[in-house]
Chains A and B, each alone.
Chain A
Amino acid sequence: MQNLGSAREGARQWWMQRMTAVALIPLTLWLAASLLRHVADDYATLIAWLRTPLAAVLMVLLLMALCYHMALGLKVIIEDYVHLDRLQIAALTLIDLLSVALAVVGIFASLRVALSA
């Protein structure tokens, strides 16, 4: 039962999962509302909207919170249900790498739209 003892961690992930969840509530509401408002607009108007400082900042925050929250959640699912050691480690590593990649791509795209002349 003692196995390898206590890892003395886990509190941070637990806290971050809750923090990102709380942050995601207003951020997703904001995104849904904005998209609904622009649903009839053409591409140029949408881009113009994304270039406003507020929209760009909120978009980057949303992407960071979303990817972090997604990685934590997916890893918990894998830890709970995948019990083949090698498969589990592979899946966990993949989730980490892919969510960082996803966040970087998304943030880069937003910034590029927002900052390009």
Chain B
Amino acid sequence: MPAATSPRPALDWLKHLLEETVTLIRSSEQQPRVTLLRRFPVPRNFALPGNARIQHGRTWRAPPGAKRVKRFEIYRYDPDSGENPRIDTFEVDVGSCGPMVLDVLIKIKSEIDSTLTFRRSCREGICGSCAMNIDGSNWLACTRTIAGTAEPSTIYPLNHLPIIKDLVPDLTHLYAQYALIEPWLKTRGPVPERERLQSPAEADRLNGKDGKGPAACILCFCCTAGCPSHWWNGQRFLGPAALLQAWRWLADTRDEAAGERLDALEDPFRLYRCHTILNCTRTCPKGLNPGQAIGAIKQKIAQRRS
């Protein structure tokens, strides 16, 4: 933010607006300084089929004597009940809770409503299980602080996926897209006696000098679930997570199948449906840049054409 003592606040604001709209997003660590709209201006439940319309659920009041009460509005859906999805409101005493959103979910499950369903495993941002939509953006529940959420905070499953229950989306299709890029080392020559060596610089292409290269992806699918191109054409467009992984193997100096990998990707939908909207980079909870990886693939294809 501009210093409070700036003589020309209006000019500074304009400069920030320009930076915000003109500069490319490189990582989710760039905090937006100007937000025009909190959500796209259509009514909730707009054009949703009857059985997907979200209804008001029940409210769970905070226990008497709670010290710091915070409200969480959480998406609930149970296909066995035959009922529509609903939003339940939980008043949680965050004074007696760990610091992360995942801690809240675990507290709700063990103390308030044991039917709340969500995925989690590592609770340290490395397994990718707890990806969900928190306050309108996709992130890992275990690396989002409660202090950093809105009041009330809204928690939905990852967008635009079939829902199995509550916060658990069906990732089958996204895994199939990942399998399609054949995420394993392919070589042609004779098998060497010992490991295939890489120089530190070659390894940096995968890990990134700052640890944010394509190999750091945890396949949480925050990016693909947040990609508008994948919403509209997810059956044919591979989406940022799978494409970042495709780049991971194209960038690997030990891999010898770049040509056939590019053949499989060069398609108006699989690859070129990416319009560089960069929602993927904006939302990646590991701070990676799938948008840049997709650009790198397009560059490789351009290279081999001329």
**What is A's interface to B at a CB cutoff of 8 Å?**
1-3, 6-11, 13-15, 76, 79-81, 83
Contacts of A8 in B (CB 8 A): 263, 266-267
Given known A-B contacts A11-B305, A76-B275, A1 and B268 have beta carbons under 8 A apart: no
A11 neighbours in B (Cβ, 8 Å)? 266, 272, 298, 301-302, 305
Residue in A1, A13, A79, A83 whose beta carbon sits within 8 Å of that of B180 in the complex = A1
Are A2 and B180 in contact, with the CB atoms below 8 A? yes
CB-based contact B233/A6 at 8 Å: no
Q: What size tier do the contact residues of chain B reach?
A: 20 to 34
CB <8 Å contact, A80 and B233:
yes
Q: Which residues of B contact A (CB under 8 A)?
A: 173, 176-177, 179-180, 229, 232-233, 235-236, 263-273, 275, 298, 301-302, 305
The complex places the Cα of A76 from the Cα of B224 at a distance, in Å, of: 20
B60: min CB distance to chain A, Å: 40
- CB < 8 Å neighbour of A7 from B177, B229, B268: B268
Q: Could you pull out 12 A-B pairs where Cβ atoms are within 8 angstroms? A: A1-B173, A1-B179, A3-B236, A6-B267, A10-B267, A11-B302, A11-B305, A13-B268, A15-B305, A76-B275, A79-B233, A79-B268
Of the listed residues A2, A14, A81, A83, the one surrounded by the most CB atoms of chain B closer than 10 A to its CB is A14
For the complex, give the distance between the alpha carbons of A77 and B121 in Å.
40
Is chain B's interface secondary structure helix, strand, loop, or mixed overall? helix
Smallest CB-CB separation from B272: which chain A residue? Answer: A10
Do B275 and A6 touch (CB < 8 A)? Answer: no
Q: A1-B179, A81-B232 are in contact. List 19 more A-B contacts (CB 8 A).
A: A1-B173, A1-B180, A2-B180, A6-B263, A6-B266, A6-B267, A7-B266, A10-B267, A10-B269, A10-B272, A11-B272, A11-B301, A11-B305, A13-B268, A15-B305, A76-B275, A79-B233, A80-B232, A80-B273
**Residues of chain B within 8 A of A2, CB atoms compared:** 180
Question: What's the Cα separation between A83 and B231 when bound, in Å?
Answer: 12
State A81–B302 Cα separation when bound (angstroms): 27
B270 partner, pick from A6, A76, A79, A83, beta carbons under 8 A? A6
**With A and B bound together, what is the CA distance between A3 and B117 in angstroms?**
33
- Chain B residue at minimum C-beta to C-beta distance from A14: B272
Min CB distance A51 to B, Å, is 38
Partner of A9, one of B173, B177, B268, B273: B268
Measured between beta carbons, the chain A residues less than 8 angstroms from B177 are 1
Min C-beta distance of A77 to chain B, whole Å: 10
